[in-house]
Structure 1
Amino acid sequence: MKKNIFFILLLLVSLIGFSQEEDLLNNEWILHYMVIDGETTTILNAPYPSIVFNNSSNEFDVFATVNGFNYFAEFSPPTIFNENSFVVQEGGVTLGDCFSDCELENKYLGTILLGFEREFNYEIISESNGNKTLTIVTPEGNIAVHGNYFLSVDELTKRTTKIYPNPVEDVLHINSKELIIKKINVFSLLGTSIFETSDIDQNYSIDVSSLKMGVYFVQVIFEDGNDYMHKFIKK
Structure 2
Amino acid sequence: MIKNYFFIALLFLGANLNAQTTLTQSENPNLVDDSGNACWNPGGLNPNTYNDNSFYRAYNLSDFSITGSFQITSVQFGQGSADTGKEITLKIHTANTDDLTNAVLTEQASTTHICNASNNLQVVSVPLSVSIPSNSTIVFEVFAPDSGTNTGELFFIGTNSAGQNDDSYISFSECAGWTDPTIVSDQYVMNVLGDEVLGIDDFKAFKLSITPNPTKDIININLDNSNTINHMNLYNITGRLIYRSVKSNSIDLSQLNSGVYLLEINTEKGKTTRKVIKN
TM-score, normalised on structure 2?
Answer: 0.26
Relative contact order (alpha carbons < 8 A, sep ≥ 6): 1 or 2 greater?
2
Give 1 or 2: higher helix fraction. 1
Higher fraction of strand: 2
Structure with max Cα Rg: 2
Task: Report the TM-score, using the length of structure 1 for normalisation.
Answer: 0.31
